[in-house]
Amino acid sequence: MIRINCPYCGERDHSEFSYGGDATINYPSLDASEKEWTEAIFFRKNIKGFQFETWHHSNGCRMWLVVERSTVTHEIKSVKPCHPNLQKVVENNK
């Protein structure tokens, strides 16, 4: 079981969370072209090692998180809120 250290709730089982996806995608503006959207939606890297991914603490505080996780060992290096303002709050409270 992966244990994720939610910045708001503390360390919890991964079963409390829902997996989101690649956290490094820059979604294009809504009026961007079909091509740009195709890139953003359908093309993904298949990383061996650490990757940034989003997780939703859906059975917890409902925060969307960026988790830096190894796809090989499940080791987690960092967990941060996705929202920059929430990130700042967490940093300030450290």
Gap between the Cα atoms of 81 and 56, Å rounded: 10
Is residue 64 involved in binding another protein (CB under 8 A)? yes
Please tell me what DSSP assigns to residue 71.
T
Among residues 6, 7, 17, 63, which is the contact residue for another protein, using CB under 8 A? 63
19: burial class by Cβ within 10 Å (0-12, 13-18, 19+)? exposed
Number of H helices and E strands in the chain, helices first, is 2, 6
Is residue 47 involved in binding another protein (CB under 8 A)? no
**Smallest distance, another protein to C-beta of residue 49, A:** 15
List contacts with another protein (CB under 8 A): 1-3, 13, 18, 20, 23, 27, 29-34, 36-38, 40-42, 54, 56, 58, 62-64, 73-74, 81-86
